[in-house]
Structure 1
Amino acid sequence: MSTAIVMSEAERARLRASTPSFFGIIRGELLKMSRRWSTWIPLLLVILFICAGTLVRLIDSELKQTIAMDQLGFMYKEMENGLAFVQIFTGLYILVLTAYVIGLEYQMGTIRVLVARGVGKLTLLAAKVTSLLIVALLVLIGCILLTAALIFILLLVKVGNLDALKTLTSQFWSDTGLYLLTVLVSTVVTILLGTVFSVLGRSLTIGLSAGLAWFPVDNIGAQFFRLGYLITKNDFWKNVTAYFLGPNLNAMASQVLPAKLHIYPVGITPLVQVDGAHTLWVALVYGLIFLVASIALTVMRDIKE
Structure 2
Amino acid sequence: MSTVITTAHLDSNRLRTTKPSFPGLVRGELLKTSRQWLTWVMLVLLVGVTIFAHLLTLSSNNTNEKISEAPLHFLYNEMEISLSILRIFGGIFIIIITAYLIGIEYQYGTIRIVLARGVGRLQLLFAKLLTLVLIALALVGGLLLLNALMICLVISFIVGNLQPLNAITPEFWSNTGLYLLTVLISLGTSILMSATMSAIGRSLSFGVSAALTWFPVDNMGLLFMNMAAQLTHNDFWNQITAYFLGPNLNAMPIVLLPAQLKANSIGIPPLAPINGPHTLWLTLAYALVFATVAIVLTWKRDVKE
TM category, shorter = over 0.9
Determine the structure 2 residue equivalent to 1:266.
266
**DSSP 3-state at the match of 1:303:** coil
**DSSP 3-state at the match of 1:267:** coil
Distance 1:237 1:177 in 2: 34
Distance 1:229 1:297 in 2: 37
Determine the structure 2 residue equivalent to 1:201.
201
Ranges of 4+ aligned residues in structure 1 off by more than 4 Å: 4-7
Task: Give 1:206's aligned amino acid.
Answer: F
Distance 2:109 2:236 in 1: 46
Task: Give 1:284's aligned amino acid.
Answer: L
Task: Give 2:284's aligned amino acid.
Answer: L
Distance 2:5 2:166 in 1: 67
Counterparts of residues 137-148 of structure 1 (less than 5 Å): 137-148=137-148
**DSSP 3-state at the match of 1:8:** helix
Determine the structure 2 residue equivalent to 1:278.
278
Determine the structure 2 residue equivalent to 1:295.
295
Any idea what the Cα deviations from partners look like across 1:252-296, whole Å, max 9, x if unmatched?
Answer: 000110011101232111111100111111110000000000011
Determine the structure 2 residue equivalent to 1:226.
226
Distance 1:168 1:116, change over 3 A: same
Distance 1:153 1:277 in 2: 37
Any idea what the Cα deviations from partners look like across 1:112-140, whole Å, max 9, x if unmatched?
Answer: 11000000000000000000000010001
Distance 2:43 2:264 in 1: 26
Distance 1:57 1:72 in 2: 15
Any idea what the Cα deviations from partners look like across 1:160-193, whole Å, max 9, x if unmatched?
Answer: 1111111111000000000010000000000001
Determine the structure 2 residue equivalent to 1:55.
55
Task: Give 1:40's aligned amino acid.
Answer: W
Determine the structure 1 residue equivalent to 2:93.
93
Determine the structure 1 residue equivalent to 2:18.
18
Counterparts of residues 210-249 of structure 1 (less than 5 Å): 210-249=210-249
Number of residues of Structure 1 aligned to a counterpart in Structure 2: 302
Task: Give 2:30's aligned amino acid.
Answer: L
CA contact (8 A) 2:107 2:202 kept: yes
Task: Give 2:69's aligned amino acid.
Answer: M
Provide the TM-score with structure 1 as the length reference: 0.97
**DSSP 3-state at the match of 1:229:** helix
Comparing 279-288 with 260-269, greater Cα deviation is found at 260-269
Unaligned 5+ segments in structure 2 are: none
Distance 1:5 1:88 in 2: 61
Determine the structure 2 residue equivalent to 1:166.
166
Distance 1:17 1:72, change over 3 A: same
Task: Give 1:181's aligned amino acid.
Answer: L
What is the aligned-residue RMSD (CA, Å)? 1.3
CA deviation after TM superposition for structure 1 residue 5, in Å: 11
Distance 1:244 1:218 in 2: 6
Task: Give 1:24's aligned amino acid.
Answer: G
Distance 1:288 1:278 in 2: 15
Are positions 1:110 and 2:110 aligned together? yes
Distance 2:5 2:160 in 1: 69
**DSSP 3-state at the match of 1:161:** coil
Distance 2:291 2:132 in 1: 14
Determine the structure 1 residue equivalent to 2:175.
175
**DSSP 3-state at the match of 2:234:** coil
Distance 1:258 1:67 in 2: 22
Unaligned 5+ segments in structure 1 are: none
CA contact (8 A) 2:81 2:265 kept: no
Provide the TM-score with structure 2 as the length reference: 0.97
Distance 2:54 2:141 in 1: 17
Distance 2:265 2:80 in 1: 10
CA deviation after TM superposition for structure 1 residue 49, in Å: 0.6
